[in-house]
Chain A
Amino acid sequence: MKNLLEHTGLEPGRLHFSWISSAEATKFVKVAKEVSAAVRALGPAKYLVKRRAEVV
């Protein structure tokens, strides 16, 4: 899925996958920080964003 989305133009770094157990609080914090830093660095999303219908 990640490969397909990035193939069709999603920026690498926008989509993240992780497997975190409920017991892994520190891993959760670490991943959440990484994700938010990576996404913030990319700026606002352009891909697959629907603001208002572009149908004329």
Chain B
Amino acid sequence: MIELTEKIRDIAKKLLKDGTVDVFIGYKKGSVPMMNEPVLIRNPDEADLLYWDSNCGLNLCNYLTGRTDRIGILATGCNSRSIVTHIIENQIRRDQLYIVGIPCTGMIDHRAVNRAVGHREITDITESDITFTVTGKGFQETFNKADYLQGNCKVCRHRNPVEYDEMIGEPVEEQKGIEPYSDVKNIEKMSCDDKNAFFRRLIDKCIRCYACRNACPLCYCPTCFVDESRPQWVGKSIDPTDTMTFHLLRAFHCAGRCTDCGACERVCPMGISMRQFTRKLNRDAEELFSWQAGLSLTERPPLDTYRSDDYNDFIK
């Protein structure tokens, strides 16, 4: 990890010094363990702030929207797919970007780690190749990283960036033999009432803070539908129906665009697994339109193209 951090710093310094980019977007160590923060570096001297380990779960693509300068950006598999989505949606031009690809072996689920140590306060985390060690007052525990990956990383099929100008390190082997949508299939087997109860329970704790929306690189509308008041599309209370409406619409806005980067789930202060909504749409996009978001700069997404053989069984 430390070698990769050094490489990122060197590349950022070089790019900023020779003027290839005006700003470099990467991660820095967070003020709290397991919470690395995005950082925008403009001065080569600040590049030593950059940091990389398995706690860089936020999607950096979120900081690209509408920028007019030249940007260097660090991109893992899912981040690079979000960047591709941004480019085909005309939110940024490819020639503005210098994408520094980084192979990713998955991010650590900070909630699972906190549970594993019985919610004692973790003050530090160190990482080796396949294990990580957390320390706090009076305890030190080592875990296998593979057992504590974020839900989306466990089922990830694109660990290596799909689009980059330069690659840091060798590409990692993609996970084989994973069943990407087993959770969705389990829900599909439930009865209608059980599904209803499942999703109602799922969003039960939602406080409508919109952290999921803010962390999502796809949510770049100047005014979000939840913030509009004329007309007011959705109730602003935490009534279950209002909350469900918000989550359904948020998810549907991501249909065919979501790369399952897991940023929404990671930032949720209540630990809600709202990926259950977007994953159903991802599965439909894949099954009905053979589409996985962000894999190609030349293909148009299913929702902005028409083909005469499009899925239309739902229309009478």
Contacts and interface: CB of A to CB of B under 8 A. Distances in A.
Interface of A: 1-12, 16-19, 31, 34, 46-50, 53-55
Interface of B, secondary structure class, is helix
Identify the interface centre among A3, A8, A11, A49: most chain B CB within 10 Å of its CB.
A8
A53 B248 CA distance: 19
12 contacts: A1-B252, A2-B314, A3-B314, A4-B252, A4-B284, A5-B248, A8-B248, A12-B192, A19-B316, A31-B316, A46-B196, A48-B241
Interface residues of B, number: 32
Given A8-B199, A48-B244, A3 B284 contact: yes
Interface of B: 184, 187-188, 192-200, 235, 237-242, 244-245, 248, 251-252, 255, 277, 280-281, 284, 314-316
Given A48-B241, A53-B237, A3 B316 contact: no
B244 A17 contact: no
Given A9-B198, A19-B315, A3 B193 contact: no
A34 B316 contact: yes
B196 A47 contact: yes
Contacts of B277: 4, 8
B20 to A, nearest CB: 42
B280 A9 contact: no
